[in-house]
């Protein structure tokens, strides 16, 4: 069946192990479940402002378009990667640059 995931241009994907270990080291975690654009974009940009270079911000979301729109919104401020749970939960990993 057609899925918005098919046409969403998300960044490189993390393996389950990578995602789990990085998640435990995250400097900030934002729960964006149930939120839709543009709120997650705004929160990601705000969150990154308070972090130092190399720090990691992770957003958890169930809104697939965010996996493309949030990394695009933060632009060069962060290196982005994504993790897909396989059952509708996604995490966006933003490492501050």
Partner 1 sequence: MSGDVDTVDPEAVRERIDAGDDDFDLVDIREGDAYEDGHVPGAEHLTVDELEDVVAERDWSEEVVVYCYVGQTSVQAARLVEEYGNADAVASMDGGYEAWAEDVEPLANAD
Q: List the catalytic residues.
A: 37
CB of 66 to partner 1, least distance (A): 8
Q: What is the rounded CA–CA span in Å between residue 46 and residue 96?
A: 12
Q: In what order do the strands lie in the sheet with 28-31?
A: 28-31, 56-61, 90-96, 78-84
CB of 22 to partner 1, least distance (A): 25
Q: Which of 1, 16, 11, 4 is nearest to 86 (CA)?
A: 16
Using CB under 8 A, which of 30, 59, 61, 69 touches partner 1?
69
Interface residues with partner 1 (CB under 8 A)? Answer: 1-4, 6-9, 36-38, 41, 63-65, 68-69, 72
């Amino acid at each position: 069946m057609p899925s918005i995931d098919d046409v969403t241009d998300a960044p490189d994907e993390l393996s389950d192990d990578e995602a789990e270990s990085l998640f435990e080291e995250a400097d900030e975690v934002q729960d964006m479940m149930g939120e839709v654009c543009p709120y997650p974009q705004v929160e990601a940009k705000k969150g990154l402002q308070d972090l130092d270079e190399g720090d990691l911000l992770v957003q958890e979301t169930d809104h697939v378009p965010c996996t493309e729109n949030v990394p695009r919104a933060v632009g060069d401020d962060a290196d982005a990667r994504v993790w897909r749970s396989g059952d509708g939960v996604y995490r966006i990993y933003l490492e501050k640059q």
